[in-house]
Structure 1
Amino acid sequence: MCWAKELGHTKILLLGANGRTGRGILNLALEAGDDVTAVVRSKDKLADIDHPNLNVLAGDVCEPEALQQILPGHDVVISTLGPRSPTKAACRIYSDSAVAVVDSMQKCGISRLLVVSTALLFLSSKLLDRVLRFIARNNAHNASLMENTILASKLEWTIARVGFLNEKKSEEYRLAEGALPEGSNSIPRAALAHFLITEAKQSNHPCNIVGVSE
C-alpha cells in the first residue's frame, strides 16, 4: 500500500553517509533540524562532523540483524549506497544491501525507503546508452536486482534513477516518472541531495521510479 504524507521533524537513517552525495544529504538534514543516524563501516569516516542531532554508528549495511537493532524509531531510510568500482564484487553492494534493508524494515515496521539507482535501467535504443550499459553491466545488473527486491516489498519506496553525478553547487533539478528528463543525463550531487530530503519529508512520489537530472 502506498500513500503520501508530509513530515516535519524527521528521523532519518542514512546509508552511505560518508559518500559525497550522502554528506550532502547529511548536511541538509542537520541544517533542517532533523535527527540523522548514519551507518558507516567505521566511525572515523565521519569524525569531522560533530552535531547534537547526528548519531554515527559503525555497522554492516548488508547484515539484517545489525540493521534491526538500529531501525526502530526512524521515519525514513535513505540509501545512497553504490560501488566504488565497477567490479562484480563491488557492485553487489546494491543487491546485498537491498535484501538486508528491505527485510529489516518490514520486520521493524518502518515503511518509507528512498534509494539512488542508475539511469542505465531506463529502456533506450540510443547507441551511446547501449554502450554505457555494456561497459557498466555489473552496475546495471546489481542495481536491477536491488530494484526488484524493493518493488517486491510492501514498503513505501521511491527509487531515484540518475545519470552522471557532478560537483556543481546548484540544487535545481528536474523530474520525470519512469524516464530521465529530456536534455540532460547528469545531475549535481547537491541537487540530488535536495531532492531526496524533499522526498523524505513530503513523499511526492511514493512507489514510483523517477528520473532526476539537472
Structure 2
Amino acid sequence: MRIAIFGATGHVGRELVAQALASGHEVSALARDPAALPPHERLTVVPGDVRDPEAVGRVVAGADGVLSALGTRSPRGGTVCADAMRRILPAMRSLGVRRLVVVGAYGSGPGRRGAYRVATSLVIPAIMRDKDRQEEVIRAEGDLWTIVRPAVITGGRYSGVYRTGPDLRLGLASRVSRADLADFMLRALGSEDCVRQAVAIAS
C-alpha cells in the first residue's frame, strides 16, 4: 500500500512513518525540512507546507490512503488542523483517493464528553477549537474518513494492547502511547470497520 502522511515529523507522525515502512508500505510525507526524516528507499519526502495546495497534491498523488497526525505543541494552538483539511480533502477528491484517518481530540466534535471536554477546553482552548473545526470540515467534505480521538498521548513503547470504540469513555487519567496510536491508525487505514466514525482509543 502507498500511504500519504501529514504531520510526519511530529511524535505520532514519526511513529506512523516508521511503522508503515517496517510493514513494507511505500510512504510519501510532507515536511518543511526534508532532512528531519531519515532517508529510506520506500520513503518520498515532499518539501513544503500543508497550506500549499501544490505540495499537498504531490504527497497525495498515487496514494491508497491518507494519514494525518497534524497538531501543535503550543497551548495557544492555531488553525493548522482545519487549514490542512481544507487542502487535503480537495486534493484527495481530485486525485481519487478516498480513505482518510486523522488524529482528532477526545471531547471534540459532536457528542462532546462532559467533564473531559470542559477540562481540556480550559487548559488548551485554542487546540480544541482547531480540532473542532477539523472535524467539521471532514464531516462536511470527507468520504471514507475515520477520526481517532486519543487519550493523553505518551512516549511509551508499543504494546499492541489498547481499547477502541466510538462509545469508549475516557477519563482525565486515561493514556495511550504514540506507538499504539500509530498502530491503530495504520490498521484502520486498511479496514472499513471504522469508516465515517469518530473512535476513541486508550490503553
Q: After TM superposition, is the score higher than 0.5?
A: yes
What are the ranges of 5 or more consecutive residues in structure 2 without an aligned counterpart?
A: none
Identity of aligned residues (%): 27
By how many angstroms is 1:154 displaced? 4.2
CA-to-partner distance for each residue in 1:137-176, whole Å, 9 max, x for gaps?
1111111111100001141100001121111112321112
CA contact (8 A) 1:171 1:188 kept: no
CA-to-partner distance for each residue in 1:60-116, whole Å, 9 max, x for gaps?
1122232223322100110000012022xx421111111111121112211111100
Residue aligning to 2:33:
42
Higher relative CO (CA 8 A, sep ≥ 6), structure 1 or 2? 1
Residue aligning to 2:201:
212
Change (3 A) 1:71 1:57: same
Residue aligning to 1:11:
2
What are the ranges of 5 or more consecutive residues in structure 1 without an aligned counterpart?
A: 1-9
CA contact (8 A) 1:29 1:197 kept: yes
1:102-141 equivalences under 5 Å are: 102-121=89-108, 123-126=112-115, 129-141=117-129
Q: TM-score normalized by structure 1?
A: 0.87
CA contact (8 A) 2:4 2:65 kept: yes
1:1-214 equivalences under 5 Å are: 10-46=1-37, 49-87=38-76, 90-121=77-108, 123-126=112-115, 129-169=117-157, 170-181=159-170, 185-214=174-203
Task: Indicate the SS of the match to 1:152.
Answer: helix
CA contact (8 A) 1:95 1:146 kept: yes
By how many angstroms is 1:25 displaced? 1.1
Q: TM-score normalized by structure 2?
A: 0.91
Task: Indicate the SS of the match to 2:50.
Answer: coil
Task: Indicate the SS of the match to 1:74.
Answer: coil
Whole-Å separation in 1 of the counterparts to 2:167 and 2:145: 14
The number of aligned residues is 200
Whole-Å separation in 1 of the counterparts to 2:120 and 2:142: 32
